[in-house]
Structure 1
Amino acid sequence: MSITVQKTIPAARMQQFQQMVDLWLDEGPIRLATNATITAMENAGIAKAEQAAIIEDRNIIMKHNMRLGVISEVFAPAVEKAVNASRTGSEAQDEIARLIVTAVGIRQDDDSEVITFTFTTQTEADAFDKAV
């Protein structure tokens, strides 16, 4: 059985996140790493279209991981409180990680994001819902 709980990350926080992602991908160490990767791919004779696909895939993965960071930042205290009330040790840590990694976010027209968490127990779902 699974129980879903939806919560919203406000538009202002998601806009801040998008700006941070754009900055990371366009400047600094990420840009240097991208340039080095492109040079290495060119030296290896990888076709331009394939290079573009590799960089695009890498950017998607980076954005996803950074998005998980925002979800964790906003919701981890509530997730931890809900899970730690009924689980301990590595079982609790595994469940906390699962809840964050499997959370599904859907961007709204106003740039906010509705995040859906899927709990395995009603008790944890209720505790999370009350903690946020």
Structure 2
Amino acid sequence: MKRLLIGAASAATIVLSGLAAAQAAEPKDFVDYRVESLKAVGGHMKAMSTWVKSGMDLPNPVAAHASAILAVLEGLPAAFPEGTHGVAKSEATSKVWSDPAAFKAANDKAIEAAKTLIAAADSNDRAAIGKALGGLGGACKGCHDDFRD
């Protein structure tokens, strides 16, 4: 478990460092990064949900998936700099930029839910994991409701 958290922290550092170094990137690059990163989050959510619901006999993959989601979420606000709204196809609403504090608060809620899911994964209790997964899904939905078309 510690290795997964260290790996997630390292991934987040790499993402954040890369974003800081990429200030000369084109605005469309940020949009592309956001779109692909959030697609990956959706894939991780679906994979975890399948594992929880199916009862399949596979080693518990939840901590790894949730750690990957956490890494994306920790770098997400930096992927929405000024000047990147409307430059390419995206579902982000203008509220991301007009109310950045609310956007950060919604993202912080999802970060906490991802951490809760990582902790629940250690239990190997599918019901507890499912409940924590639902919490992360709810946090994601809350952000989508307010900041996604």
Q: Return the TM-score normalized by structure 2.
A: 0.30
Q: Hey, which of these two has a bigger chunk of strand by percent?
A: 1
> Taking structure 1 as the reference length, what is the TM-score of the superposition?
0.33
- Pick the structure with more helix per residue: 2
